[in-house]
Amino acid sequence: MTRLMRTSKLAKLPVVTMGGEDVAQIKDVVYAAGGGQVGGFTLAGRGLFAGPLKQALAWTSVASLGADAVMITDEGALESTGAVLDRSASSGGSGGNVLGSQVLTDAGVDLGKVVDVIIEVSQGGEGQCDVVGYEIEASEALGSSGTDVLIPLPDTISVSGEHLIVPASAKDFVGHDLAGFGAAVEQFRAQLKADR
């Protein structure tokens, strides 16, 4: 079973052990090395005055990601933030936050700025957390300047802290809400494969 989510919905989700202990909350979502998937999360402490933690959560240690909490087996699932970030460090981008980055097509057209990232969470077995799209504040090139729209991404994506490059054909699969966006992603990726 798969589910589409905005990463903004993950921020501040509590990280809860199977024993019911509330150990942290999600701070940042970290791309996996190679792009296209979520590699893990940095964490903040619970409570108003708690800051970022020195521990992070790798995606492989997540038992389940629900609408209201991230479940882990126990506190042993957490590891040092450095270890999680190091494993995500070979993706070749310039580093930084994707939110606010400019989205360009490979034809050099500005599509807008990223306001959110769409992920597809598959539960059970070897569950994955794929990055399948961006929610962007559309530029005039999309004909709906200023509105937020969803654009699908290829399996492997070009990412950096400033510019995100997508195939020009992504413009043809723009969606306006998560319902039906999964199908748009599949069609977009199938078209890319057919064009190769």
Partner 1 sequence: MTWWVWLIVIVVVVLLLVGAVLAIQARRRRGGVIVDPAGSPRTKGGGDR
Within residues 152-191, the interface with partner 1 by CB under 8 A covers: 154-161, 165-167, 189
Q: Mapping DSSP to helix (H, G, I), strand (E, B) and coil, where does residue 44 land?
A: strand
* Member of 91, 120, 132, 138 binding partner 1 (CB under 8 A): 91
d(CA 29, CA 147): 24
Minimal distance, residue 157 CB to partner 1, in Å: 7
Residue count (the chain):
196
- Nearest 10 degrees: CA dihedral of 119, 123, 125, 127? 20
Residue type, 57: L
Minimal distance, residue 180 CB to partner 1, in Å: 21
Q: Which is nearer to partner 1, 14 or 52 (CB)?
A: 52
Residue 194 is classified by DSSP as H
d(CA 191, CA 138): 23
* Member of 2, 73, 80, 90 binding partner 1 (CB under 8 A): 90
Minimal distance, residue 4 CB to partner 1, in Å: 15
Q: Which is nearer to partner 1, 55 or 91 (CB)?
A: 91
Q: Rule CB under 8 A: is residue 68 a binding residue for partner 1?
A: no
Minimal distance, residue 189 CB to partner 1, in Å: 7
HSE, CB side, 13 Å, CA atoms: give it for residue 128: 10
* Member of 4, 15, 31, 130 binding partner 1 (CB under 8 A): 31
Strand pairing partners for 56? 42, 79
Residue type, 188: F
Q: Mapping DSSP to helix (H, G, I), strand (E, B) and coil, where does residue 185 land?
A: helix
Q: Rule CB under 8 A: is residue 49 a binding residue for partner 1?
A: yes
144-to-122, 138, 140, 147, 179 alpha-carbon distances in Å: 32, 6, 6, 6, 19
Which of the ranges 16-24, 46-54, 122-130, 137-145 carries the binding residues for partner 1, by CB under 8 A? Answer: 46-54
Binding site for partner 1 (CB under 8 A): 7, 10-12, 26-31, 33, 35, 42, 44, 48-52, 85-86, 88-99, 106, 117, 154-161, 165-167, 189, 192-193, 195-196
